Chain A
């Protein structure tokens, strides 16, 4: 590890974190701009909390994420099981390709094509269309997260259960699903992340009156600089950081435990 690579790494980390810390720094600026720091204030945090419309948007975002990830996890779980049990290779590959279409499609395409779909089906744009859209792009992610754990689990357990007279339902609920729990959980978390992070798809299908955090931030940012956005982003950053630290120590512990046993 020479000094050149060390300084390159440091430089890149500064580049990646600078914008986020820059936002956080000015969220305390009494001057109201992102250029001159005129003194410390917590006003913007206060106004975020007191802003009822913004709090509703935040609740909407969380509700959409939880509902859509929940639905997608159930659909995706059975989808993954279905794909796992298909024998014909050609059928499986075709279905997998169709599964991956929405993963590789640009957000704009998903948003625009779903907008057409909803208008043809007469679904009014609002909370329902946003949840449906999030389910649409989360299902394939859940499937891809669950499939590897299905292939990794020991299939002899399934065969043993069948030999011992377990019904198809028992095999599913008592053997298969408990075996792939980590995969299911990872799929749910991934769906949650995508849902919370989505802007473009939601932007297309949200209509008037219903909004999620990203759409709201876009609207606010187009109007110019509001330090309320800085305050929100600082809170989000702190939450993300805490989750990341917990994740790191939990997974680190697991790895170490795995090594010793």
Chain B
């Protein structure tokens, strides 16, 4: 009885998890006319693609670090407020607005006649093209990821036993020592999950590079989209995809939380 009902789920697992990934791996060994080849891998390991991968990693790293530097204090501040859930909700609400709408807003804000340049002008600075630059790419990505980073960090800070913090003060630790030697180590699990949900998507954001970075930032995601939908070279696209999956597995293993590894 129960076995029969599980059939759609197992079918889902085979058709939508195992098959697509296997097909992608298979395609990565195909050239454009369908012959088996290692050429895609040779091309990926050539200088152009390696440079692009390093670039993509660099941007994902910057985005993750900046997001973390903003989100950690933010989560800390919220965890000390009286109406925590209310303020957390305030931070979460923007995630329910479609990511494309938020990106689109930045086209207006950072544009040459946008509000940022208007402010620059009134304080006597010259107008600069902020849009279509790596600055725009990083700003929008950080903006998008902040709530996703705040949530797990808040949860782990909120779960810390308050007695430990009181004990730390009683034993003469300063505020800074308590933060760095008690609170931070105890909230590391939240930081790890925050890094997971920021770093991997940051490697693959292709619509941001198209809309606000003016194609100046080429991420692994942009390369996949380009190969699949514009060049129609599915083999090369799949090869980049296979590498993205490998990087993803690596990041997951590196930031594995305690709960999962038990």
Bin the interface of chain A by size. 35 or more
Over the window 145-183 of chain A, the binary record of Cβ atoms lying under 8 Å from chain B Cβ atoms (1 yes, 0 no) is 000000000000000000000001100100000000000
In the complex the two chains form, what is the Cα distance from A16 to B148 in whole Å? 12
In the complex the two chains form, what is the Cα distance from A199 to B107 in whole Å? 18
In the complex the two chains form, what is the Cα distance from A247 to B70 in whole Å? 27
Q: Is B176 an interface residue (CB 8 A)?
A: no
Please judge, given known A-B contacts A79-B6, A106-B221, whether A240 and B93 are in contact too, CB under 8 Å.
Answer: yes
CB-CB < 8 A to A247: which residues of B?
89
Chain B: which residue is nearest A84 at the CB level? B2
CB-CB < 8 A to A98: which residues of B?
13, 17-18
Give the interface centre of A18, A101, A108, A240 by most chain B CB atoms within 10 Å.
A108
CB-CB < 8 A to B86: which residues of A?
248
Q: Is B228 an interface residue (CB 8 A)?
A: yes
CB-CB < 8 A to B169: which residues of A?
none
CB-contact partner of A1 in B81, B99, B203, B237, under 8 A: B81
Q: Is B120 an interface residue (CB 8 A)?
A: no
In the complex the two chains form, what is the Cα distance from A109 to B87 in whole Å? 34
Q: Is A197 an interface residue (CB 8 A)?
A: yes
Chain B: which residue is nearest A85 at the CB level? B2
CB-CB < 8 A to B10: which residues of A?
82
Please judge, given known A-B contacts A16-B143, A81-B6, A240-B96, whether A22 and B87 are in contact too, CB under 8 Å.
Answer: no
**Please, how many residues of chain B have a CB less than 8 angstroms from a CB on the other chain?**
81
Please judge, given known A-B contacts A35-B113, A108-B244, A244-B89, whether A169 and B1 are in contact too, CB under 8 Å.
Answer: yes
Over the window 235-261 of chain A, the binary record of Cβ atoms lying under 8 Å from chain B Cβ atoms (1 yes, 0 no) is 011001101100110011000000000
Q: Is the CB of B238 within 8 A of A108?
A: no
Q: Is A87 an interface residue (CB 8 A)?
A: no
Q: Is A59 an interface residue (CB 8 A)?
A: no
Q: Is the CB of B211 within 8 A of A222?
A: yes
CB-CB < 8 A to B201: which residues of A?
106-107
CB-CB < 8 A to B244: which residues of A?
106, 108-109
CB-CB < 8 A to A8: which residues of B?
73-74, 77
CB-CB < 8 A to B254: which residues of A?
none
Q: Name B35-91 residues within 8 Å CB distance of A.
A: 70, 73-74, 76-78, 80-81, 85-87, 89-91
Least distance between B240 CB and chain A CB atoms (Å) = 9
A sample of 13 more A-B contacts (CB under 8 A), given A204-B225, A218-B211, is A16-B94, A19-B109, A34-B107, A82-B5, A105-B248, A112-B224, A116-B234, A197-B96, A200-B204, A203-B207, A217-B104, A221-B103, A221-B211
Q: Which residues of A contact B (CB under 8 A)?
A: 1, 5-6, 8-9, 12-13, 15-20, 22-23, 26, 33-36, 74-76, 78-79, 81-82, 85, 95, 98-99, 101-102, 104-110, 112-117, 120, 135-136, 139, 143, 168-169, 172, 193, 196-197, 199-200, 203-204, 213-214, 217-218, 221-222, 225, 229, 232-233, 236-237, 240-241, 243-244, 247-248, 251-252
